Structure 1
Amino acid sequence: MFRFSKAPSYLLISALLGSSFTVNADNFNTLPEIGTAAASTLTIEKEQEYGDAYMRMLRASKPVISDPLLSEYVLDLGHRLVANAEDVRTPFNFFMIQSREINAFAFFGGYVALHSGLFLHAKTESELASVVAHEIAHVTQRHLARSMEDQAKKSPATMAALIGSLMLAIASPEAGIAAIHATTAASMQGQINYTRSNEKEADRIGIATLAKSGFDVQAMPQFFGRLADQYRYASKPPAMLLTHPLPEARVSDTRSRANQYPSVRVNTSERYQLARARIVARFAGIDSDAALDWFDRQLKKANPSQKAALNYGKALVYMDSGKFDLAHQLLDPLVAAEPNNRFFIDSATDLDLFQKKYDAAVNRLEVALKQNPDHKVLRLNLAHALQEAGRTTDSISILTRYTYDNPQDTNGWNLLAQAYAYSGKRDGELAARAELLALRAQWDKAINHYIQASQIVDVDSLDQARYDARIDQLRLSRERFENLQ
């Protein structure tokens, strides 16, 4: 799969108070009937605006993983859990951040972020799902909004100050639900206790969601207990233990709740194993020798159901190192055994493109798309393969539709900008790059790009009218964004 360089970080915003939250709430049009009347703290419309703002700033400041296969896997896992969760009144968005830290967090708008380090420490898909289910529960129970209302009642902080602290959280959202600076120790302790109750509630609801989704409920106490034991005396525990404390009572409580459910046998998930191998090969922050050593050590103790994924990971390392013959030796048998596996199709296509076998790459993807005509990853791969083959017009046709269907996907806009650049259509390139800038809250640059595009095309043309209309939309978005601060 095509890969792009990470966008540079830029300075985020200041806020009124010096502490931060990880925000967990919903962005739907109906309030959940739980807890306190959180609507008095934030309207649902404001939560939606904050969620969108947070995501745009994260794209600019954090190494958000844009790998389409991994994004698809995380979305599918998250939505499987959401489909079996209670009190869901908001759309959810799941994404990954490249970091070896063991952590996850949620914020306004139903966004849930997973650090790639979770895949390196979760031994099964059920363990990973237990973390995701916990974060989903924070969102469905509107823990941030309820915490804000509770804090507003106990401290002299104005609502404006509370909102300001939320904007500060953009700079470090994984800090977790923490206390706003309070004037008294009693106020601080009350906030800590409220947060602990939220964690306990998220565990309880998360375990129920795991059970309904067909995962092993024992995975939550197993994963949490292993982390607590491993880092009990560590001078620098992982971020997850700082933002989601694991006192012995909480681990015991999750174990007790899990024991109330019948024991189920959950088969090893091949997609989880493949996603994990892909992360080790490309997103673990280790060199090729270290990655190969890891795969070799795992292969020595792997059962037969795990070996295909581990060999797939090794093939990726060889491919990225330019050792195409070695990659073929591992990947070709995998493709032959599972010709419809999208992980294998993706990598086989990459091998074709690296070796300039453009017709083979395009044909492979067209065959796959006949079985899954609307599949996002296959559509992106085909657009990329067509570009590499010099068929930019065909690539632009696919990407124009793709970006219309998926306007929040940076991959589509990146490829479209490249395709327009290859074809010499400067206004189209500027417009596509403007959309990328807007997705990172770089409003002024985005507007300037569209102004340049409008000046290039014919006066009073349909393109100019479209660009000018988009300029007006972006100016309005910039105004709304600035008002949040």
Structure 2
Amino acid sequence: MFRFTKAPAFILISALLGTSVPVSSSSINDLPEIGTAAASTLSIEKEIEYGDAYMRMIRGSMPVVSDPLLSEYIQDLGHQLVANANDVRTPFNFFMIQNRDINAFAFFGGHVAIHTGLFLHANTEGELASVVAHEIAHITQRHLARSMEDQARKSPATMAALIGSLMLAIASPEAGMAAIHATTAASAQGQINYTRSNEKEADRIGIATLAKTGYDVQAMPRFFGRLADQYRYASTPPPMLLTHPLPESRITDSRERANQYPTGKKNDSNRYQLARSRIIARYAGIDSNASLDWFDRRLKRATGASKDALNYGKALVYIDTGKYEQAHALLDPLLAKDPNNRFYIDSATDLDLYEKQYDRAINRLQKALQATPNHKVLNINLANALQEAGRNSESIPILTRYTYDNPDDANGWHLLAQAQAANGRRDAELAARGELMALRGAWEKAIQFYIQASQLVEINSLDQARYDARIDQLRLARSRFANL
């Protein structure tokens, strides 16, 4: 409904430092026995702390997709897979980055990033899930931490330099990358071997997760094989093939592994096709004419739910280019056919707001909330619609609760700052903007916003006490961040 707007250091780190011991298996149930591997080098608690620091750096420097519908979709898909994974030791967070390159990566603390470009090439939800399951396995098997432990055993001096490079990368990605290159130059071949071993292990464990979740396990070798064929002679392969090498032996190994499982029964979900269409229309980095051409070519052979999803994507393009009549012609029948579909409700509300039919938008969302009370996506859209209608005071209670329940969602803080500004609450606006800065790791700005907020309210008031307490928390977070 509303939108805000090569691989960074942590991707290169994962590629360079990945390691594991290949596991021979004659049974589909044979999985690596990890035990307490890597515990002496990097505790789970410290890994989560590093992951939080990286995540804040990403928010401040990369085009993270803040679309509520897409965030809900990728989180649901990821956590469905995590529920069927083994050795889960950390919370998981799944998010998208607007980038046409085919790539996905995982890093400390259970964070998994998916490039929107991946949706251009993953034809089914099973193929996308195979990539996500692979990245989950990198985290559950603690490949980065295990590699650091291996380096510590072989070369303490190298280990110290690697840790220094990692910490430098948090504060200065370019400097961190340069340090990592220098540190690993002497043992590059060994690192390549470790990476290949990691990739095969993540494939094996990812396929097991796919099977337990009910997906067709053949989706992984099918997708990887198609990518390898497509870019076999490319002078510049996509980042995914640089950080996740696809030699023929790895593809063969994943295919043989998949053949040991029965065929999955999980059908391609309509939500995947809708999410894919939404990305093609808005986040694939192609212009409107190219998007329409993409949809039209596939509509020639599409039927059923696939056809509906493609028409939905075309409707989005028409909405975004101001062709509201064409958008209605496609979207209205879809909404009549499936009135509770949140993708359709969201887009119909877009049309309402563009056409200044504010009451219709608000009523539409309130009716949807009666069916699914307190739904995250519907609530944030309702708050936005209320603001568009000039009813800012009504949006504030919704956003106050929303930001309490979803403190890491920049959308809520952004809208709350706008609502408080329109309502004349400068102190509350500054506090909300402080939270936005904290999410990006901009601690100094966050603290300054809160100091200004504290100075605007009555001395010794509850608001001042709350702002001052938050200043103390932010200063502590800044200190921990600096100590990394």
The question of a shared fold, defined as TM-score above 0.5 by the shorter chain, is answered with: yes
CA distance in 2, matches of 1:77, 1:356: 35
Name the stretch that deviates more: 36-45 or 358-367. Answer: 36-45
Query: What is the number of residues matched between the two proteins?
Result: 462
2:123 partner amino acid = K
Aligned-partner SS, 1:114: strand
Closer, same or farther: CA 116–241 of 1 in aligned 2, 3 Å: same
What is the aligned-residue RMSD (CA, Å)?
2.1
Displacement, 1:211? Answer: 0.7
Q: Which residue of 2 aligns with 1:181?
A: 183
Please say if 1:51 is aligned against 2:44. no
Q: Which residue of 2 aligns with 1:287?
A: 287
Contact 2:44 2:90 in 1 (8 A): no
Displacement, 1:320? Answer: 0.7
Q: Which residue of 2 aligns with 1:216?
A: 216
Displacement, 1:263? Answer: 2.0
Aligned-partner SS, 1:105: strand
CA distance in 1, matches of 2:181, 2:141: 18
* 1:364-403 map, 5 Å: 364-403=364-403
CA distance in 1, matches of 2:297, 2:185: 53
Closer, same or farther: CA 388–298 of 1 in aligned 2, 3 Å: same
Contact 1:179 1:188 in 2 (8 A): no
Q: Which residue of 2 aligns with 1:20?
A: 13
Q: Which residue of 2 aligns with 1:101?
A: 101
Q: Which residue of 1 aligns with 2:25?
A: none
CA distance in 1, matches of 2:185, 2:98: 37
Displacement, 1:290? Answer: 1.5
CA distance in 1, matches of 2:480, 2:339: 48
TM-score (norm 2): 0.92
1:57 partner amino acid = M
Q: Which residue of 2 aligns with 1:417?
A: 417
Please say if 1:90 is aligned against 2:86. no
Please say if 1:435 is aligned against 2:435. yes
* 1:214-363 map, 5 Å: 214-363=214-363
Contact 2:211 2:264 in 1 (8 A): no
Contact 1:80 1:213 in 2 (8 A): yes
Displacement, 1:387? Answer: 1.0
Contact 1:315 1:328 in 2 (8 A): yes
Contact 1:21 1:166 in 2 (8 A): no
2:97 partner amino acid = I
CA distance in 1, matches of 2:258, 2:475: 51
Displacement, 1:55? Answer: 0.2
Aligned-partner SS, 2:309: helix
Displacement, 1:242? Answer: 0.4
CA distance in 1, matches of 2:204, 2:248: 16
CA distance in 2, matches of 1:158, 1:195: 17
CA distance in 2, matches of 1:443, 1:220: 41
TM-score (norm 1): 0.91
1:369 partner amino acid = L
Displacement, 1:190? Answer: 2.6
* 1:459-478 map, 5 Å: 459-478=459-478
Please say if 1:453 is aligned against 2:443. no
CA distance in 2, matches of 1:459, 1:335: 53
Contact 2:430 2:450 in 1 (8 A): yes
Name the stretch that deviates more: 292-301 or 204-213. Answer: 292-301
User: Residue deviations 1:421-454, cap 9 Å, x none?
Assistant: 1112111111101100010010101111111111
CA distance in 1, matches of 2:161, 2:37: 19
CA distance in 2, matches of 1:275, 1:54: 26
Displacement, 1:461? Answer: 1.0
Aligned-partner SS, 2:105: strand
Closer, same or farther: CA 47–259 of 1 in aligned 2, 3 Å: same
Displacement, 1:472? Answer: 0.8
CA distance in 2, matches of 1:149, 1:180: 19
CA distance in 1, matches of 2:122, 2:169: 27
1:181 partner amino acid = T
Displacement, 1:288? Answer: 1.2
CA distance in 1, matches of 2:38, 2:442: 31
User: Residue deviations 1:392-412, cap 9 Å, x none?
Assistant: 111000000110111000010
User: Residue deviations 1:208-229, cap 9 Å, x none?
Assistant: 1001101110000000000111
CA distance in 2, matches of 1:24, 1:449: 40
Contact 1:155 1:183 in 2 (8 A): no
CA distance in 2, matches of 1:472, 1:159: 35
* 1:50-89 map, 5 Å: 50-89=50-89
Aligned-partner SS, 1:350: helix
Show structure 1 runs of 4+ deviating over 6 A: none
Contact 1:36 1:146 in 2 (8 A): no
Structure 1 stretches lacking a partner, 5+ long? 7-11, 26-31
2:68 partner amino acid = P
Closer, same or farther: CA 475–160 of 1 in aligned 2, 3 Å: farther
Displacement, 1:180? Answer: 7.5
Aligned-partner SS, 2:262: coil
CA distance in 2, matches of 1:388, 1:133: 40
User: Residue deviations 1:93-130, cap 9 Å, x none?
Assistant: 00000001111000111000000001000011000000
Please say if 1:404 is aligned against 2:404. yes
Displacement, 1:169? Answer: 4.7
CA distance in 1, matches of 2:282, 2:168: 31
User: Residue deviations 1:34-93, cap 9 Å, x none?
Assistant: 166311111222111100000000001110000000000000000110111111122110
Contact 1:155 1:182 in 2 (8 A): no
Aligned-partner SS, 1:157: helix
Contact 2:207 2:258 in 1 (8 A): yes
Contact 1:24 1:108 in 2 (8 A): no
Displacement, 1:256? Answer: 0.6
Closer, same or farther: CA 149–87 of 1 in aligned 2, 3 Å: same
CA distance in 2, matches of 1:270, 1:146: 39
CA distance in 1, matches of 2:182, 2:36: 19
Contact 2:414 2:432 in 1 (8 A): yes
Structure 2 stretches lacking a partner, 5+ long? 20-31
Name the stretch that deviates more: 315-324 or 153-162. Answer: 153-162
CA distance in 1, matches of 2:169, 2:134: 20
Please say if 1:204 is aligned against 2:204. yes
Aligned-partner SS, 2:109: coil
Q: Which residue of 2 aligns with 1:29?
A: none
